[in-house]
Structure 1
């Protein structure tokens, strides 16, 4: 292989680095744009689509209608569509907080068409109802619950393409938000929640209950998801070094944050609402920022995006493209236009765009070499640009270092145990001496009785031995009396009586 990964090319930047201004909408509105909307924000994209549709309708009808007739027909169509949306989600006017409806019921008992709900939908309904009851007046909670549940029922009965369904749901969000926002309850200083909080709960409830209708609605989207996942799988050889990240994998905290970011990115597919999916994405991106912080790297967009791409390649989350489309279609528009979640969502969209369009030029290498790595015919060389950031190598080094430390500590522990055993033996001997001295100096009644008993037994044994000794001596004298009389007698030495115990006297005899 060539030495193109040497020092002379380390200064080259992979073509995924962006500045913060590059993430903004091309229309200059100040909100974040995404590649899937041609770098427009959600608001400008819908406006662009509406203008495009109007232009197409105008071109189609220009040859059939005069301009005045076309204008009248377009106005009629717009008004009809507006009335259709309002009729579709029709609900009675929301009364003031002090008023009550004679026919109102609790949100949980709002009459709807009976249909089987999934466990997730049942949980979402309970959470939504509890939120309304806890934070809004009874009458207002009843009317919002009735309107939203009616909308869910109608949506599940409709058959539309994803974009038309998205436009309809966005219109309903706007319609309901305007109705709720005009209520005097939210002007009160005692109000616990804002209109945005209520709309977030509405979005969570509708997204969860209509998830099977909203998510991955066409066969083409399923095919595109599988294709993208295969594409990312073929790029498994692209390490953090190729993407020129500044991660320091020698630190365990950095590796932990990377794993946390991957887990949260994979968790996106398990959530049912756009609100929860964005929360998972936010936690994942915050873990990426923490990893950059632990690596003492800059936390700018220029460093964040390559790291997010690395996380995407490592995790290869399932159906990530469909999840991004789901969020863009059915999330509250304000959440995708500004704020923390919008910034992270825009970066994820850019990362997916980079994965789809990544080629040899992106990594500054030859086309044949890139294709060989992607197809698996060749493995990348262990050069500075990829091995220096190889996480597996650092994990192995860390494991070896940990094992070495454990062995050293085990040797020190064994030495300490030997010293402890010796000290324990010495302490035991000293303790026995102290116990004996203490017992002798402060004898207890039981000890004295035991001592007298032992002394009495010793006395009896000594007396018995003395008696046996005398009997043996007398029998010996009778046997040897003849020889004893013929020989001169020798005076026997006198034994002094023992002043100690009887056993000592017997032993002397």
Structure 2
């Protein structure tokens, strides 16, 4: 379902195009065409392009405010025209300005790969998110909003996706504070949830999208609530890039074990379990997981009569997990052995 804000954005754009088709707008249209042509003559440079685009927006704002087509326009109508202008310009310049350099592609891949690993083991408690704020339904909505970000080409529409995600989180915090008579804690709880949502969503080309919005959204509109949400999402990205054990309330050695296990899991997914390489990787990965779990069994030195019912239930769960993994490991070893025998037999027959 389309949000009212995105629908309004499209109305702004079509309204702008409608006015640009009128004979009275010929001078404005020539200015726009001239700017796009002059920019295309130079080598792309994100920062330089951003500065030139921002200067052009300011120039066109003055021209529109003084133009006969908007002589009796309200402040809101002028703003709608400027939104339409921004979308038109940035749609035309999209291929030049969005993720256009090898450095952009590398940065996007780094963030996406890092998030892919964190998705395998990071849970809300690692970010000190209180259980009362664990709301899968709200989180799923926020995730879906953030994942829409590559569906649009204008900075404003991309920013709307970010804002919609953040507003879902903000509404969750407000609802919980009213329901449970809690004092809202602002960024202390907002940012950890946003980090977790970003990890769950792994939004496409996150670095490039943030850079695009920062450089090409009209500077006069990056204020107040918009600036707050954008700054928090940039902070979430930086947290993910620099994450370590301390960031996730765990020992660094434990964090590194989780990361290595996640990398093995990713390699197994890429290699595929049906190939000898995949089976070998799966076997090594399962064995490492079992070894890691075994070294952390909490009841190794406990006496049976001293265990509480809750501890017995936990112990039974660990037992079932161990048996399941042992069974999987045994099957993988048997399959690997059969495949190796067949490979050797084929060599002997040749």
Which TM class, normalised by the smaller chain length?
A: 0.5 to 0.7
State which of 86, 89, 95 in structure 2 corresponds to 1:203.
Answer: 86
Classify 1:133/1:270 alpha carbon distance in 2 versus 1 (closer, same or farther; 3 Å): closer
* Post-superposition offset of 1:155: 3.2
Structure 2 residue 136 is matched with structure 1 residue 255: yes
- Alpha carbons 1:161, 1:217 under 8 Å: kept: no
Partner of 2:246 in structure 1? 361
* Post-superposition offset of 1:193: 3.9
Partner of 1:292 in structure 2? 173
Larger Rg: 1
1: CA distance, partners of 2:15 / 2:65: 20
- Alpha carbons 2:98, 2:208 under 8 Å: kept: yes
Structure 2 residue 109 is matched with structure 1 residue 226: yes
Partner of 1:324 in structure 2? 210
1:216 is paired with a residue of what secondary structure? Answer: coil
Structure 2 residue 36 is matched with structure 1 residue 155: no
Q: 1:415-435 CA distances to partner (integer Å, 9 max, x unpaired)? A: xxxxxxxxxxxxxxxxxxxxx
2: CA distance, partners of 1:157 / 1:258: 45
State which of 280, 283, 303 in structure 1 corresponds to 2:164.
Answer: 283
Q: Which moved more, 1:225-234 or 1:306-315?
A: 225-234
- Alpha carbons 1:269, 1:320 under 8 Å: kept: no
2: CA distance, partners of 1:145 / 1:303: 47
Gaps of at least 5 residues in structure 2 are 1-8, 262-287, 299-350
Partner of 1:349 in structure 2? 234
2: CA distance, partners of 1:270 / 1:382: 47
Classify 1:240/1:125 alpha carbon distance in 2 versus 1 (closer, same or farther; 3 Å): closer
2:126 is paired with a residue of what secondary structure? Answer: coil
Classify 1:137/1:317 alpha carbon distance in 2 versus 1 (closer, same or farther; 3 Å): closer
Gaps of at least 5 residues in structure 1 are 1-123, 384-509
* Post-superposition offset of 1:234: 1.5
2: CA distance, partners of 1:331 / 1:209: 14
* Post-superposition offset of 1:292: 2.5
The correspondence of residues 11-410 of structure 1 with structure 2, limited to 5 A, is 128=13, 130-131=15-16, 133=18, 138=22, 140-183=24-67, 188=72, 191=74, 193-236=76-119, 237-246=121-130, 248=132, 254-296=135-177, 298=184, 300-336=186-222, 338-376=223-261
Q: 1:161-195 CA distances to partner (integer Å, 9 max, x unpaired)? A: 2111111111211222222334477674x647443
Classify 1:220/1:192 alpha carbon distance in 2 versus 1 (closer, same or farther; 3 Å): closer
- Alpha carbons 2:143, 2:200 under 8 Å: kept: yes
1: CA distance, partners of 2:38 / 2:11: 20
2:214 is paired with a residue of what secondary structure? Answer: helix
Classify 1:235/1:274 alpha carbon distance in 2 versus 1 (closer, same or farther; 3 Å): same
Q: 1:383-425 CA distances to partner (integer Å, 9 max, x unpaired)? A: 9xxxxxxxxxxxxxxxxxxxxxxxxxxxxxxxxxxxxxxxxxx
2: CA distance, partners of 1:125 / 1:283: 17
- Alpha carbons 2:127, 2:192 under 8 Å: kept: yes
Q: Which moved more, 1:359-368 or 1:321-330?
A: 359-368
Classify 1:269/1:366 alpha carbon distance in 2 versus 1 (closer, same or farther; 3 Å): same
Classify 1:132/1:316 alpha carbon distance in 2 versus 1 (closer, same or farther; 3 Å): closer
* Post-superposition offset of 1:243: 0.7
The correspondence of residues 447-486 of structure 1 with structure 2, limited to 5 A, is none
1:242 is paired with a residue of what secondary structure? Answer: helix
2: CA distance, partners of 1:305 / 1:359: 17
Normalised by the length of structure 1, the TM-score is 0.45
2: CA distance, partners of 1:273 / 1:198: 14
Classify 1:246/1:334 alpha carbon distance in 2 versus 1 (closer, same or farther; 3 Å): farther
1: CA distance, partners of 2:39 / 2:16: 23
